[in-house]
């Protein structure tokens, strides 16, 4: 199977926007479509509680005519048009789609952050992990989220093997960001967030990219959109992952970032696995 995951930062802008960046985003969508993956996971859709509009659906149908769509949006009492996730999967598959609540704090369970696809022999699940925020104001809640999410994945893994993707909003080790020495107290690279990611891997999961590339530096999945030179200088972070149950590690064929050209922010990540 070929699986692709991407934090798109507004699917409305991607599908209907007229800006230069919207055009860059659509170019990446066309590139993904050309790869003909089995499953596409999309984070930070920023859709309304009603999901994709008829116009969105028409564009998606044009881009991905052989795919079914599953989506989850932020709902009250959470912020409108915030976070959100989506799956596109080939219509030859008929997975059971679930929208789990994990007992997360505040409004996190209402922000549309997790969708899970259950296949006969495995789970595919995606997550858009909450950011700890400016001044780390959400760090305490983020740690509770990490505990809840780890427990959720562990429960899935006890039933059948799991492939989990998404924007995990953490660079795990110094090799996973360009300037670790300057970001020790930044959201996404605090001791607490990194320790929780270590615990997640310790619960029975393998970081597929690092499994294949244990010493590869300069490989990132996110570059600051507001810093014009971030991508030119490859001043990035690896905060997007494909994790697999440890017992699937020997089935990983490839795990890589997909080149998104000049577009800053997240780039898609791909997992090829022999199931």
User: Which one of the listed residues 87, 89, 128, 189 is annotated catalytic?
Assistant: 128
- Residue 50 to residues 5, 47, 53, 96, 107: CA-CA distances in angstroms? 23, 8, 8, 21, 18
Rounded-to-10 torsion of CA 80, 165, 183, 178: -130
pTM of the model: 0.97
* List of residues 6+ apart from 227 with CB closer than 8 A: 235, 264
User: Which one of the listed residues 56, 172, 196, 266 is annotated catalytic?
Assistant: 266
How do the pLDDT tens digits run along the chain, 275 residues long? 999 999 999 999 999 999 999 999 999 999 999 999 999 999 999 999 999 999 999 999 999 999 999 999 999 999 999 999 999 999 999 999 999 999 999 999 999 999 999 999 999 999 999 999 999 999 999 999 999 999 999 999 999 999 999 999 999 999 999 999 999 999 999 999 999 999 999 999 999 999 999 999 999 999 999 999 999 999 999 999 999 999 999 999 999 999 999 999 999 999 999 99
How many whole angstroms separate alpha carbon 82 and alpha carbon 74? 6
- What does the block give as tokens for 217? 């530096």
pLDDT for position 273: 98
User: Which one of the listed residues 157, 167, 240, 272 is annotated catalytic?
Assistant: 167
Question: Is 196 part of the annotated catalytic residue set?
Answer: no
183 is annotated as contributing to ligand binding? no
CB 14 within 8 A of CB 22: yes
Other Cβ atoms less than 10 A from the Cβ of 30: the count is 10
35 is annotated as contributing to ligand binding? no
Question: Pairing relation of β-strands 265-266 and 162-167?
Answer: unpaired
* DSSP classification of residue 177: B
215 is annotated as contributing to ligand binding? no
Write out the H or E segment, with its range, that includes residue 85: strand 85-90
How many whole angstroms separate alpha carbon 11 and alpha carbon 137? 27
207 is annotated as contributing to ligand binding? no
Question: Long-range contacts made by residues 50-59, C-beta under 8 angstroms, separation at least 24?
Answer: 52/11, 52/86, 55/15, 55/16, 56/11, 56/12, 56/15, 56/16, 59/15, 59/16
131 is annotated as contributing to ligand binding? no
Please choose, from the candidates 39, 46, 49, 51, the residue with its C-alpha nearest in 3D space to the C-alpha of residue 17: 46
Question: Is 191 part of the annotated catalytic residue set?
Answer: no
pLDDT for position 83: 97
Question: Is 110 part of the annotated catalytic residue set?
Answer: no
Domain boundaries, the chain: 2-273
Topology (CATH level 3) of domain 2-273:
Deoxyribonuclease I; Chain A (3.60.10)
167 is annotated as contributing to ligand binding? yes
């Amino acid at each position: 199977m070929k699986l692709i995951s991407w934090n798109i930062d507004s699917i409305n802008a991607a599908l209907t926007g007229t800006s230069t960046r919207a055009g860059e985003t659509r170019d990446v969508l066309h590139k993904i479509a050309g790869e003909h993956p089995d499953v596409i996971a999309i984070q930070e859709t920023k859709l309304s509680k009603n999901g994709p509009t008829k116009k969105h659906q028409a564009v998606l149908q044009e881009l991905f005519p052989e795919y079914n769509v599953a989506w989850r949006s932020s709902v009250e009492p959470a912020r409108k048009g915030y976070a959100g996730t989506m799956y596109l999967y080939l219509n030859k598959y008929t997975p059971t789609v679930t929208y789990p609540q994990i007992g997360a704090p505040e409004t996190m369970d209402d922000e549309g952050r997790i969708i899970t696809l259950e296949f006969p022999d495995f789970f595919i699940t995606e997550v858009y992990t909450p950011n700890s925020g400016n001044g780390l104001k959400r760090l305490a809640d983020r740690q509770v989220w990490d505990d809840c999410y780890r427990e959720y994945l562990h429960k899935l893994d006890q039933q059948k093997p799991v492939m989990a993707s998404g924007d995990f909003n953490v660079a795990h080790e110094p090799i996973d960001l360009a300037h670790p020495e300057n970001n020790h107290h930044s959201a996404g690279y605090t001791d607490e967030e990194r320790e929780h990611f270590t615990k997640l891997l310790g619960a029975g999961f393998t970081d597929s990219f690092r499994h294949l590339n244990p010493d590869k530096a300069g490989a990132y999945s996110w570059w600051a959109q507001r810093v014009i030179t971030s991508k030119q200088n490859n001043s990035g972070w690896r905060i997007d992952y494909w994790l697999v149950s440890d017992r699937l590690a020997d089935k990983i064929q490839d795990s890589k970032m997909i080149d998104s050209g000049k577009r800053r922010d997240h780039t898609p990540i791909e997992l090829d696995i022999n199931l």
